[in-house]
Amino acid sequence: MSGKGGTGKTTVAAALALALATGGRRVLLVEVENRQGIAQVFDTAPLPYEERRIAVAPGGGEVRALAVDTEAALLEYFEMFYRLGMAGRTLRRMGAIEFATTLAPGLRDVLLTGKAKECVTRSEADGRPAYDAVVLDAPPTGRLVTFLDVTKAMADLAKVGPIHSQAEGVNQLIHSPLTAVHLVTLLSDLPVSETLDAIAELDRAEIGVGTVVVNRMREQWLPDRSLTAAAGGRVDAGRIRNGLQSAGIELASDEIDGLVAETVEHAVAVAGETAALRRLDTEPDPPLPRLTLPAVLGGVDLGALYELAESMTAQGVHLEARR
């Protein structure tokens, strides 16, 4: 899950995890940006570097969460492939881990995506996958493809050895039918443009694109015939006054003027969002599946998160990627 900063991608990723877990499934929600965004959305304590149950979904499913820490992932990597153990922890005290990830910036993303890949491919004792789905709250669209495809560059850089194998394994997963990138947008020019740019960039990188999630969709209060006139500033204040009086409501002239101004503002905003939707429907070729989520007044709490997940479930959650 990605999107331009400020579009609500972490909230949507959390709602998607809940939606996918509905009906008894187990879903892992992963974050990689050291922001503790998942903990904030679920109103819980900061997450440690371990998979921890964070929510129960309708129908008996569960969502587990993991905040991937780069240093912890590298120590785990050292232990897994080099059996360094105590020596790895000594490296952390020496600052060698920060040095290594600074010297080879791509290594950090290999470690982050590599941990997600390990969770995806892990199996239980009976051979079944540990998780029915893994939702990765990825970096914003501006650096999304660099983050996802850096493993390809690292695989080319390290020709042999564990780093090569790790990078190659992640690269294969990212470019496989198991992976779909869903994009969150708001209906304004900049987020829509960045979403369309991300779709084109993902297509060029041959990474599957799934669904566009339109977040904070504004409800249209005016009928279509009135919307166009109001967006052009044509609102009959006298008609509003007469309508209110017929309902037994008396307002002062300045209050009527305020209602007129709000009506025009609403109509202009809805007209702009309609134009943005038209771009999403016509510019990607072929058009992508779309989900819409309403604006949540007063901020997103846990109850609102479940409502967003329910809305996703009702619309159908598209997991397949376009290729």
Residues 6+ apart with CB under 8 A from 245: none
Q: What is the pLDDT of residues 127-140, one digit of tens each?
A: 899 999 999 999 99
pLDDT in tens, 211-241: 999 999 888 888 888 888 888 888 888 888 8
Would the pLDDT of 49 be above 80?
yes
Structure tokens at 303: 């109850």
Q: Phi first, then psi: give them for residue 287, nearest 5 degrees.
A: -60, 150
Residue 152 has pLDDT above 90, yes or no: no
**How confident is the model over 52-67, as a mean pLDDT?**
93
> 103-112, 178-187, 240-249, 295-304: which has the highest mean pLDDT?
178-187
Tokens of 217: 């969709």
What would the CATH number be for the domain defined by 9-218+295-315? Answer: 3.40.50.300
Of the candidates 67, 144, 65, 161, the one whose C-alpha atom is nearest the C-alpha of residue 109 is: 144
